[in-house]
Structure formats: C-alpha cells, structure tokens
C-alpha cells in the first residue's frame, strides 16, 4: 500500500514542473499560496507569480487579463471562494471570453470538514458545470493529479479542478490516459457500477470489495474524473448492468449525478439509479469521515445503498 | 493648443454624436453615458490610440477595455470612424438578431471588442491583468486604456483592482472615470456617497489627473502628457462630464440613461449639435 498523500500538495508543487515546461504558465493566488501549496512556483518564478491578496474576484479577472495576453494562469483558492465569491468573474471574464484559465479549487465537497460550510463547497460542481465553456474535473489520486495537470497545459480553455482535503492512497496504475470527457474503469462490474469522482473513489473501491465478499456481487467502479464533459460510453456500460449508484462529494442537486441522470432519461435508457451526495442541507462542522458516513459516501454507506438499490425491480 | 486639431476632433466628436442620436431614434441605447464619454472616446480612438484595423490582435496595438460596457454604441461608432466596419453597418445591425452590435459589447461576434463587458466592475480588473500580461511578455509600448463609470465605483472589485494595479506598478494602464454624477437610480451623491474620487485613488497610490471630460483641448492636453508606458505608477483620469452632453433635453436627466427618441427629438438634437459646433468655430 502506498503512503497516503495530500492531493493539494501534489498539485501545488507540480505547478512548478508545469512552470519549468512552459514559460507561459503563471500562478495567481489570493493569499492562500500556503494552503494551496504552490509556494515552490513563486520561489522558482517570482516574475510569473502574482498574489492579489484576499480578493478572489480580482484574482479571476486579473487571470483573465493575463490569459488574454497569451499566458496560462493557474489560479488557486478554496472551492467556495472560487465558485461563489468569484462566480460572476468566472462566468463573464473567463468563460464568456473562453480564456485559458485553470482554476484549482481545494476544499471541494465537505472535505473541508471541521472548517465548516464557509470553507467547503457542495455547490461548486453544480455551479461550474452550469457555465458554458468550463470543463470540470475532480482528482482522485496523485498519479492522475500529475497526469491531469500535464494534460491541462494542452487545453486552451477554462478548466475547473476540484480537490478534496484528506490524504488519499493511489488507486491508479502507471498506465492510463487522461482526457476531457474521459473516465477510468478501476474495477470491472457485472451486477452494477458505482460512478464517482474524487475522494469518494477510494470509498467506492472499498465498497466494491465489501459487495463482493459479503454479497457476492460484482460491482464495478468508474472514476468519472471528467465531470463535464462526461464519458457517455462509460455511462452506457454501467447502465447496461441495470444498477447504477452515483456517489459524489457535492450536493445531490447539480453536478455529476444530475448530468448523468439527464442523459439516461433523454436516451430512454432504464436502470436502477441512485445519487448519493450531500442531501441538500447545511450541516455543522465535523471531520470529513463523519460527514461521509452521514451521507452514505463511505464504503459501508455506498455498499448498503447498492444492495438496497439492486433489489429493486426495473 | 493646436486649434486646427481641436476643431477637427470636435468635428469628429460631433459626427459620433449625430450617429448616436440617429441610432437612438431607431433603438433604445444608453444614450446618456454614450454622450458623456463621446469626446474622450473620439480622442482615444481617432487621435491617441495605436490600433491596426486590419488586425485586431496586432501585438503592437493599444488595448481598450470598456469597463462601463453599456457605452457600446459610442465605442462601435468610433471604431467605425477609423474603418473597423462601416457606420452604416452599426446603424443597421444594432440590436438586430444576429447583428454584431448591441446594448453591450460582445467579442463573440465583433473581434474589435477586446473584452466583452456589460456587468460593472469587471473591465477594470481585467484591464489590470492585461497590463500585467503586457509587462510580463516585454511589450513596453502598448498601453491599456479603460473607461469606468462613476456609479461603477460602488463595485468592490474596482477597489480590489485599484490596490492591485499599484502593487504591480502598472504604469501602462490608463483608466478613466466618467464622472457624470448620475447613475441609474439617482445622483451619485444620493446613491453612492462617493465623495472625492480623485483623493481616494491618490490615497491608493495612483497618479490622478482631473479634467473636464467634455473639453477637447483638456482631453488632448491630458492624453499628450500621460506618463511614459514604462512608468511604474498607474494613471487615473477623473473626467468631469455631463450625462447626455450636447443635447439640452438630455443633459443631466436621469431618464436618458437609456432610451429612444422621436423624429422631432432627433431633429431638435441634431440642429442643436450642429448649430453649437458652428457657433463655436465661426469666429476662429
């Protein structure tokens, strides 16, 4: 078993690698370069590093201006500040003009745990996927984090990347391809699939083991790391098994589950379908594992939800 | 000051005003704020700025960001005046489905729009990013011009950017505040209690210049003397203007923030504008 790593550390530090590779890469912070672990970039490239202070709206607009002049800004802050405080700047200054700004959002979902609802965001995924031109990704392990960052350099458009707080193991092998609209089948399924992203992927993998060992069910896990656009082929494969659980660290309204459900219904596909997510409510501060358990996003919650779902007629 | 130049520019500004009221007779436009910055826009587009009409992405161009994005008509007519497209096309396509020109500037259909704007408090911060980008890539000649409204100063993002521009020494940025003292719901004093704008920017560390924004001589004198583009201090020009400037029945009238005029009003306005120009220059 690999050692657990903090994905924000991986991403923040890897930005320096991108900076070495491409002189157009610049970083814009809003006083959270420490929290977002990208100080190595400013140490290496002080001229290409900006810190606008606690001013997320300005961070986004400023980055849009830099992108307008051909630079590739990576902006960092916590998901609620990026997706909500600066929402209109993202939409009007970045997305409307299709500017090449990469938005790195830490504390996505309820992963912020004891920091509470002011610092986590269950809304960001729904908000960002609703903005035209913005591609939305979520990171599940350090290998795909690095690979996605490499890939992001080739995307000349707005990109929003969600990152959870808690450290995670690696779930990826060394050989895999990351792309817009892609997904990764981590476990092949027969009786059903768990479609998920981010931190939840790790719980889904554990849930799949429980389902096999305790219920003799072969349940696959697909990392839908590209939430918008999403991988319709992967969805069809899951739907064909007739049992689909979507597990997401964000509100049940908007984001991954809503996008997949829309596609299923519009195509007239049928299957048992359930979205596990934050149940459209505010909840007070608690450690992330407690919150994941509460919303059935831990291994037991996901496996139990799958079992009850699979008993339904369809 | 070169009288011939001023007369020529005032004549050009008159032509823009005539185009504005002609359009305003056909469609609802933000006529009040178009007229208040008409002289500044004419001076920028038809005198000061380096711009290549054959290539709106020419690296050597000066960048223009219309932060008060509702003044789209006066921008389009000035761009038409230098040949980006025809004045007739602006009159014909404005607010028409599929047209290139409308209530706010949109670069999806019009490549001469540097940045799409409309929502207030956006253009100025983006202009700061552009100015920083020019510096970073070593473009030492181009400047970034942006025009904000005075009501727009209520947006918090303006002051975020005002801090930032000084921190990053963006002396290649020239910002205007169209200080026409009227916003949508009333006077600036009633709504915003804005106080002394110049003092506020001075205290932020900006180079502040105050001019009569409807006086072409003052505008040209100001533009001729703005700091070198390699300066380390951003410049803000507080332009004292009159909303609806040049058309008596519109001047300082809140109801002419946006609107449409009748045929009679068009005749009245055109006559007044032409007569005033002739009166002003008849003895020179």
Question: Which of B107, B132, B137 minimises the CB distance to A65?
Answer: B132
Asked if the Cβ–Cβ distance from A89 to B122 is below 8 Å, we say yes
Query: Cα(B243)–Cα(B239) distance, rounded to whole angstroms?
Result: 12
pLDDT digits (tens, 9 = 90+) for B94-123: 999 999 999 999 999 999 999 999 999 999
Asked if the Cβ–Cβ distance from A70 to B127 is below 8 Å, we say no
Asked if the Cβ–Cβ distance from A65 to B129 is below 8 Å, we say yes
Residue A65 forms contact with B (CB below 8 Å): yes
CA angle B24, B30, B32 (to 5 degrees): 95
Check residue B2 and give its pLDDT: 85
Fold of A184-310: Rossmann fold (3.40.50)
Check residue B282 and give its pLDDT: 87
Residue A57 forms contact with B (CB below 8 Å): yes
**Fold match, A7-162 / A184-310:** yes
Closest by Cα among B70, B8, B127, B3 to B256: B70
Residues of A in contact with B122 (CB under 8 A): 61, 88-89, 92-93
Query: Cα(B255)–Cα(B32) distance, rounded to whole angstroms?
Result: 9
Which of the residues in chain A have pLDDT under 50? Answer: none
Q: Give the pairing type, strands A72-78 and A102-106.
A: parallel
How far away is chain B from the Cα of A53, in angstroms, using its nearest Cα?
8
Residues of A in contact with B128 (CB under 8 A): 58, 61-62, 65
Residues of A in contact with B134 (CB under 8 A): 69
Closest-approach residue (CA) in chain B for A52: B164
Task: List, in order, residues 6 or more apart from A8 with CB less than 8 Å away.
Answer: A35, A36, A37, A106, A163, A165
Confidence grade of residue B72 (pLDDT, cut at 50, 70, 90): very high
Question: Which of A48, A57, A66 minimises the CB distance to B129?
Answer: A66
Residues of B in contact with A47 (CB under 8 A): 136
DSSP A168: B
Residues of B in contact with A66 (CB under 8 A): 129-130, 132-133, 136
Query: Cα(B74)–Cα(B179) distance, rounded to whole angstroms?
Result: 17
Burial of A166 from C-beta contacts in 10 A (0-12 / 13-18 / 19+): middle
Query: Cα(A88)–Cα(B57) distance, rounded to whole angstroms?
Result: 26
CB of A93 closer than 8 Å to CB of B119? no
For A307, the token pair is 């079992």
Asked if the Cβ–Cβ distance from A88 to B122 is below 8 Å, we say yes
Residue A70 forms contact with B (CB below 8 Å): yes
Closest-approach residue (CA) in chain B for A63: B129
Query: Cα(B192)–Cα(A256) distance, rounded to whole angstroms?
Result: 42
For A259, the token pair is 């996008």
Q: Is the per-residue pLDDT at B1 higher than 80?
A: no
The DSSP-derived string for A92-149 is: IIIITTT---EEEEESBBTTTGGG-TTT-BSSHHHHHHTSTT-EEEE--SHHHHHHHH
Q: Is the per-residue pLDDT at B193 higher than 90?
A: no
Residue A216 forms contact with B (CB below 8 Å): no
Q: Is the per-residue pLDDT at B220 higher than 60?
A: yes
Task: List, in order, residues 6 or more apart from B282 with CB less than 8 Å away.
Answer: none
Q: Is the per-residue pLDDT at B283 higher than 90?
A: no
Region B192-204: mean pLDDT is 95
Residue A146 forms contact with B (CB below 8 Å): no
How far away is chain A from the Cα of B158, in angstroms, using its nearest Cα?
8
Question: Which of A50, A69, A88 minimises the CB distance to B119?
Answer: A88
pLDDT digits (tens, 9 = 90+) for B120-166: 999 999 999 999 999 999 999 999 999 999 999 999 999 999 999 99
How far away is chain B from the Cα of A92, in angstroms, using its nearest Cα?
8
* Upper half-sphere CA count for residue A69 (Cβ side, 13 Å): 31
Selected residue of B104, B113, B126, B159 to mutate for chain A interface (largest A Cβ count, 10 A): B126
Fold of A7-162: Rossmann fold (3.40.50)
Residues of B in contact with A48 (CB under 8 A): 136
For A19, the token pair is 């900076």
SS3 A251: strand
- Reading phi first (left if > 0) and then psi (alpha if -120 to 50, else beta), residue A53 is in left
CB of A254 closer than 8 Å to CB of A127? yes
Count Cβ–Cβ pairs < 8 Å, chain A vs chain B: 94
| Domain regions of chain A by residue span | 7-162, 184-310
What is the ipTM for the molecules in this complex? 0.95
Selected residue of A22, A29, A62, A75 to mutate for chain B interface (largest B Cβ count, 10 A): A62
Q: What pairs with residue A25 in β-bridges? A: A72
Task: List, in order, residues 6 or more apart from B218 with CB less than 8 Å away.
Answer: B211, B212
CB of B134 closer than 8 Å to CB of A65? no
H or E, element range at A244? strand A243-251
Domains and their CATH numbers in chain B: 3-281 (3.40.50.970)
Check residue A176 and give its pLDDT: 93
Please state the three-class secondary structure of B229-263 as a single string: CCCCCCEEEEEECCCCCCCCCCCCCHHHHCECCCH
Asked if the Cβ–Cβ distance from A57 to B160 is below 8 Å, we say yes
For chain B, percent of residues with pLDDT exceeding 90: 98
* Upper half-sphere CA count for residue A304 (Cβ side, 13 Å): 9
Asked if the Cβ–Cβ distance from B128 to A50 is below 8 Å, we say no
Closest by Cα among B66, B64, B49, B255 to B149: B66
- Measured between alpha carbons, how far is residue B241 from residues A304, B180, B198 in Å? 69, 5, 14
Q: Which long-range contacts (CB under 8 A, 24 or more apart) does A92-95 make?
A: A92/B116, A92/B118, A92/B119, A92/B122, A93/A60, A93/A61, A93/A64, A93/B115, A93/B122, A93/B125, A93/B126, A94/A60, A94/A63, A94/A64, A94/A67, A94/A134, A94/A158, A95/A131, A95/A132, A95/A133, A95/A134, A95/A158
Region B48-72: mean pLDDT is 97
Q: What pairs with residue B65 in β-bridges? A: B146
| CB < 8 Å from B in window 156-175 of A | none
């Amino acid at each position: 078993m690999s050692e657990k790593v903090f994905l924000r550390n991986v991403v923040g530090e890897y930005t320096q690698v991108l900076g070495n590779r491409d002189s157009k890469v610049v970083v814009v912070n809003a006083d959270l370069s420490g929290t977002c672990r990208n100080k190595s970039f400013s140490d290496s490239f002080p001229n290409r590093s900006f810190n606008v202070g606690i001013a997320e709206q300005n961070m986004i607009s400023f980055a849009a201006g830099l992108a307008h002049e051909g630079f590739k800004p990576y902006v960092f802050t916590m998901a609620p500040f990026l997706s909500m405080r600066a929402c209109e700047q993202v939409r009007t200054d970045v997305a409307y003009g299709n500017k090449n700004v990469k938005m790195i959002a830490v504390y996505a979902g309820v992963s912020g745990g004891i920091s509470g609802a002011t610092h986590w965001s269950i809304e960001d995924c729904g908000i960002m996927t609703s903005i035209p031109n913005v591609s939305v990704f979520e990171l599940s392990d350090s290998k795909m984090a690095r690979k996605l960052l490499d890939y992001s350099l080739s995307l000349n458009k707005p990109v929003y990347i969600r990152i959870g707080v808690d450290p995670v193991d690696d779930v990826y092998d060394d050989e895999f391809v990351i792309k817009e609209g892609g997904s990764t089948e981590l476990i092949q399924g027969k009786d059903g699939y768990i479609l998920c992203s981010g931190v939840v992927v790790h719980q889904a993998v554990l849930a799949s083991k429980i389902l096999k060992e305790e219920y003799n069910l072969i349940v696959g896990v697909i990392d839908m790391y590209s939430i918008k656009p999403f991988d319709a082929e992967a969805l069809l494969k899951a739907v064909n098994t007739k049992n689909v659980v979507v597990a997401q660290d964000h509100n049940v309204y908007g984001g991954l589950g809503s996008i997949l459900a829309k596609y299923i219904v519009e195509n007239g596909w049928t299957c048992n379908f359930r979205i596990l997510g934050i149940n459209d409510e505010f909840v007070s501060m608690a450690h992330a594992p407690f919150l994941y358990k509460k919303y059935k996003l831990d291994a037991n919650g996901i496996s139990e939800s799958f079992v009850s779902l699979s008993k339904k007629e369809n | 000051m070169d009288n011939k130049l001023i007369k020529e520019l005032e004549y050009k500004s008159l032509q823009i005003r005539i185009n504005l009221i002609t359009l305003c007779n056909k469609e609802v436009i933000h006529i009040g704020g178009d007229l208040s910055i008409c002289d500044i826009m004419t001076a920028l587009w038809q005198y000061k700025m380096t711009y290549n009409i054959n290539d709106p992405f020419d690296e050597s161009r000066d960048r223009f960001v219309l932060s008060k994005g509702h003044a789209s008509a006066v921008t389009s007519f000035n761009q038409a005046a230098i040949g980006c497209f025809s004045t007739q096309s602006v009159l014909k396509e404005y607010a028409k489905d599929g047209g290139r020109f409308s209530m706010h500037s949109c670069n999806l259909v019009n490549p001469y729009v540097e940045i799409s704007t409309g929502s207030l408090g956006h253009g100025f911060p983006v202009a700061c990013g552009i100015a920083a980008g020019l510096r970073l890539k070593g473009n030492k000649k181009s400047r970034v011009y942006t025009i904000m409204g005075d009501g727009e100063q209520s947006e918090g993002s303006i002051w975020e950017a005002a801090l930032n521009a000084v921190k990053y020494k963006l002396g290649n940025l020239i910002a205007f505040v169209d200080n026409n003292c009227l916003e949508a719901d009333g006077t600036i004093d009633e709504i915003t209690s804005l106080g002394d704008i110049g003092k506020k920017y001075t205290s932020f560390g900006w180079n502040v210049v105050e001019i009569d924004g409807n006086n072409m001589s003052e505008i040209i004198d100001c533009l001729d003397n703005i700091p070198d583009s390699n300066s380390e201090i951003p410049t803000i020009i507080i332009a004292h203007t009159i909303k609806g400037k040049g058309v008596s029945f519109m001047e300082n009238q809140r109801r002419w923030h946006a609107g449409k005029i009748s045929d009679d009003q068009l005749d009245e306005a055109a006559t007044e504008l032409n007569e005033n120009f002739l009166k002003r220059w008849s003895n020179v």
